[in-house]
Amino acid sequence: MTITQHHHWIGGKDTISSKGEFFADLNPIDDSVYADVARGTATDVELAVQAAHTGFEKYRRSLPKEREAWLLRAAELLESKSSEFIDILVDEVGSPLLKAQREVETSVGILRSAAGATRQLTGKTLPTDTSGRLSMSIRQPLGVIAGISPFNVPLIKDIKHSAMPLATGNTVVLLPSEYAPVTALKVAALFAEAGFPAGAFNVVTGYGAEIGDTLTCHPLVRMVGFTGSSRIGHHISALCGKHTKRYSLEMGGKNPLVVLKDAELEKAVQGSVIGSFLYQGQICMAASRIYVDESIHDAFLTKIQAAAKNLGMGDLRSPSTMIGPIIHEKQRNRIRQHLHDATSKGARLRCGGNWQGNRCEPTILTGVEDHMLINHEETFGPVTSVYPVDSADEALRLANASNLGLSASIYTSNLTQAMRFAEELEVGMVHVNGTTIQDEPHIPFGGVGDSGFGRESTDPDLSEFTEWKWVTVQHS
C-alpha cells in the first residue's frame, strides 16, 4: 500500500507546513501507517486564520442563493463520492461499514439542512417611541469561526463545524483530530469542488495539544466550536472566557438507559446493544449505564449477553461487522484500566473483556459500584454496566447521578412515566423507547453540565454564528 502525503488546506490550496514536518496517521486495525500528514505549527495557524479573515471580507457579501447552491452542490458531491468517504472512514478511524454509510448519509443531510438555512437569516422591524423613525434589527456574520473536530464521527463533525458557519456568511478554520485529518482534507476538496471561494474553508492538521490554544486564542477568531472530551472542553471554555469569545462545546457522556418493568424487552435489548456497542462504544451518546427493573433484570441480562456475544468482529467492510478497533493505544489502555479497576474492586464480568488485536470484545459488567472509575468516568469503548433497580424513582435518581448529561433513553409502555422521565432527566436529549444514539441535522444537539454548552442545529446556529445589529432611519 502506497502511503500518501497530505498538506494543510489554506486559502484554497495545498500548503506545506512551515517546518516541513509530518506526523503518521495510523490505521487503527493494526497501527500501520495510513498517511503522512502535515504537522501544523503556530505559523500555519496564523496563515490559515489570516486567509479566512481575508476571505471573509468578500465571502460575507455572498448571496444566499450562492451559499445555498454551494452547500447543495457539496451534498450532491458527497452522495456521488460516498464510496470514497466510506473507504477513508473505514481505514482511517476503523469504522465498520454500516456506521460509515450512516455517517455519510447524515452528513449529506446536514449540508442540505444548512443550505435551507441560508434563507432563514431574518431580522425584525421594531416598535419605536421616536416619531418619524424606522427601527429594525439585522443579523450579520461574525467573521472567522474555528472548528475543532473529533476522530469518532469525523465526517459528521467536520461538516457540522463548517456547514452552518458557511451558510451564515462566516469563514472557517478547522483543526481536525490528529487521528482523522485525511477525512477533513477530503471535506476541503469537496467544498472546493462545490464552488466555495478560496479562504472560505481552511484546514490545519497537527496535534491539538501543540496548536489548539493558538487557534482558540487568535484575536481574529470570533467563535470556537469544539467536540471532544470534557477535560479539553473546560480548557477551551476558560480560554474563550478570558478572550471574550463565543464558544460551543459538545463533550463527553455517561449516558443512562432505563428499562422499566413494563418495557418491551426485545426492543429494550436491541436498543441497549446498539447504544452500547455501535462503533465499538466510541460515541459520546453511548449507553454505558443500563438501569433495569429488578423484576426483569435477569431476563434482560441473559438476552443482552447473548446478543453481545454474537456481534460481528470480522472484516470492517462486511455489513455483519459491528465491532472494530479502538482508535489508539492511549484509549485502549483507558479501557483496560477501567475494566481492571472495576473487576479488582468486585464488579463481575458477564461477557467480553478480552482483546482480539486492537479490538475489545463487547463487554458487560454487573456489580459496579460508585467507587469504581467505570461508574462515573466515560470509558469510550464497547463496555456497559447493567444495574438492577427496585423502582422507577430509583432509576431516575441514579440516571441523574452524573455531571455528564448528554443523552438518555427510557423504555416503558407507560406514557405517564415516559413523559415524567423526559421532563426530569438532567440531559440534553431524551429518547422514549429508542436508543441513546440518535441524531438528525435540524434537532438541537447537545448536553448539559460537563457534557456541553450550547446546541448544534440550524435554528440555534442562526443566532450563534451571527451578531444582532440595531438600525434606525430617521425619515421625518
pLDDT of residue 457: 81
- Whether pLDDT at 361 is above 70: yes
Q: Is 250 a catalytic residue?
A: yes
Give mean pLDDT, residues 2-15.
96
Give per-residue pLDDT as tens, 65-98: 999 999 999 999 999 999 999 999 999 999 999 9
Average pLDDT, the chain: 97
How many Cβ atoms are within 10 Å of 427's Cβ, its own excluded?
Answer: 25
Let me know whether 32 and 177 are in one domain: yes
446 found inside a domain = no
**pLDDT-above-90 percentage for the chain:** 97
Q: Which of 68, 103, 178, 250 is catalytic?
A: 250
- Whether pLDDT at 271 is above 70: yes
pLDDT of residue 156: 97
Burial zone of 399 (CB within 10 Å; 0-12 exposed, 13-18 middle, 19+ buried): buried
Distance between CA atoms of residues 410 and 405, nearest Å: 14
Q: Which of 68, 92, 240, 284 is catalytic?
A: 284
- Whether pLDDT at 1 is above 80: no
Give the sign of the dihedral formed by CA 147, CA 453, CA 243, CA 53: positive
pLDDT of residue 393: 97
pTM, rounded to two decimals: 0.95
At 328, give phi and psi (nearest 5°): -160, 170
pLDDT of residue 214: 98
Give mean pLDDT, residues 167-183.
98
Let me know whether 423 and 464 are in one domain: no
Q: How many domains does the chain have?
A: 2
Residue 3 vs residue 398, higher pLDDT: 398
**Residue 225 is part of a domain; what is its CATH number?**
3.40.605.10
Give the sign of the dihedral formed by CA 107, CA 109, CA 112, CA 114: negative
Residue 269 near residue 302 (C-beta atoms within 8 A): no
What Cα–Cα distance (Å) separates residue 204 from each residue in 14, 149, 187, 290, 350? 10, 12, 13, 39, 44
Query: What nine digits make up the cell of 123?
Result: 431580522
Give per-residue pLDDT as tens, 213-232: 999 999 999 999 999 999 99
Give per-residue pLDDT as tens, 438-472: 999 888 999 999 999 999 888 888 989 999 999 99
Q: Which domain holds residue 217?
A: 4-251+451-474
Give per-residue pLDDT as tens, 100-138: 999 999 999 999 999 999 999 999 999 999 999 999 999
pLDDT of residue 441: 87
Give mean pLDDT, residues 242-262.
96
Let me know whether 154 and 272 are in one domain: no
Q: Is 284 a catalytic residue?
A: yes
Let me know whether 79 and 140 are in one domain: yes
Let me know whether 341 and 239 are in one domain: no
Let me know whether 334 and 423 are in one domain: yes
**Residue 314 is part of a domain; what is its CATH number?**
3.40.309.10
Let me know whether 49 and 87 are in one domain: yes
